[in-house]
Amino acid sequence: MIGAIRIRGDGVAARCCARLLEGSGLRLILEPLDRPKVPALMVSDATQNLLGDVFERRDLFDSLPRIRKRIVSWGEHARTRAFPHSAVVVAEIDLLDRIRPPLASSSGEGCSEEDWTILTSRPLPSTSVEHQFGTRTAKASRVKLKTGHDVHTCWVESLERGWLFLLPGNGGEGWLLSVGDVASSLLGESRVVAAQISEVASTAGSFLCHPRIAEVLCAPGWLACGTAAMSFDPLCGDGAGYASREAILGAAVVRAVAAGGDVDAIMAHYRTRLVAGFKRHLEVCLEFYQTGGSGPWWNQEVNSLRGGLEWCRQQLIGAGCFRYRLNGFALESIDQATSHRT
């Protein structure tokens, strides 16, 4: 019998879980953890719609700057190309303010051993280890853009020892993400991104940006969600979107267990779904990194991604067919869903 749910963390996944479990009859205990916030996120239309569904609001992203075009120079001797794009730009702290969690207890008093914990921030239980597939780090820098830049365009460029991503902001400024080598070195080789920048104003910090996944992801009594479960390459993933989808599944899993579902079968489903999603992310990453360059840095990252795909394949051996599926925000057994239709 589950009486309370402890949600550790304060990011997108934590706030989505809190919203989805509100009104479930379970007491929510929120444990926010202080951590650095990402200065700028690009949130796709699909993720905007998903968050709108979760929070039952269609005004979450009103008035935010919008990206309508993506300029890409990817691969050795690549031709620069323009693609239509549709996303908004928002600081993480602003996004979190727009998706405030429900009022809930802020301490763990009154929790029993039978209650559950959703971990959206580290640390994880000692039984879990993290697998890392790559070595790349990213540095975020505030930059001043040249007069006349297009405020609705972002730029992506691959270089010999890494890649650059430039996102416009307000007031003639923007955010530069440099992955691999340091920003000054990459900008020295750049033709596309460097042409948009007049000055690198300051560096906001660095962070790991290669794909990572925890093992174990869940067990009776707890599950990992959001960045506590998996971390994605920013080139190939909409982080807010992944966090939202994991939260939807995680909250549905807890509801299903609280309703008396088969704990072991539901945990197996959750783990398999997350590993399968992580595998798809690695496949997309591999496509990009195989074509980004041919030097030692690119080859090293490609080999790490291939190792990650092999790890995923081993983890999914014997997984069999999925026994559950999401129906809206609820988890239901596929057998039950089939019987309702017959």
> Helices (DSSP H) in 145-238: which residue ranges?
183-189
Mean pLDDT of 240-246: 95
> Taking the CB of residue 296, how many other CB atoms lie within 10 A of it?
10
Q: Which residue has better confidence, 266 or 339?
A: 266
| Res 230 pLDDT > 70 | yes
Looking at residue 341, its pLDDT comes to 45
Tell me the pLDDT band of 107, cut-offs 50, 70 and 90.
Answer: very low
Band (pLDDT 50/70/90 cuts) for residue 240 is very high
86/84 Cα distance (integer angstroms)? 7
Q: Coil, strand, or helix at residue 80?
A: coil
Q: Is the pLDDT of residue 252 over 60?
A: yes
pLDDT at 1: 65
First-to-last CA distance in the chain? 32
Band (pLDDT 50/70/90 cuts) for residue 339 is very low
pLDDT higher than 60, residue 217: yes
Q: What is the pLDDT of residues 153-175, one digit of tens each?
A: 999 999 999 999 999 988 899 99
Residues 308-336 have pLDDT tens digits of 999 999 999 988 888 999 999 999 998 75
- Residues of the chain with pLDDT > 90, as a percent, come to 80
Determine the pLDDT at residue 326.
95
Percent of the chain beyond pLDDT 70?
94
Q: pTM for the full model?
A: 0.92
**Tens digits of per-residue pLDDT, 266-293?**
999 999 999 999 999 999 999 999 999 9
Residue 104's pLDDT band, with cuts at 50, 70 and 90, is low
pLDDT (tens digit per residue) in 5-38: 999 999 999 999 999 999 888 899 999 988 888 8
What is the pLDDT confidence band of residue 342, given thresholds at 50, 70 and 90?
very low
pLDDT of residue 319: 87
Q: Is the pLDDT of residue 86 over 50?
A: yes
**Structural class in CATH, domain 4-39+91-134+210-338:** alpha beta
Q: Quick count: other Cβ atoms within 10 Å of Cβ 211? A: 23
Which sequence spans correspond to the domains of the chain?
4-39+91-134+210-338, 137-208
Q: Could you please report the per-residue DSSP string of 104-148?
A: -B-S-TT--TTSEEEESSSPPPTT-EEEE----EEEEEEEEEPTT
> Rounded to 5 degrees, what are φ and ψ at 290?
-70, -25
> What integer pLDDT is reported at residue 340 of this predicted model?
45
Report the C-alpha gap between 197 and 212 in whole angstroms: 32
**Residue 82 contacts residue 299 (beta carbons within 8 Å):** no
Confidence label for 116 from pLDDT (cuts 50, 70 and 90): very high
- Split at pLDDT 50, 70, 90, the class of 337 is low
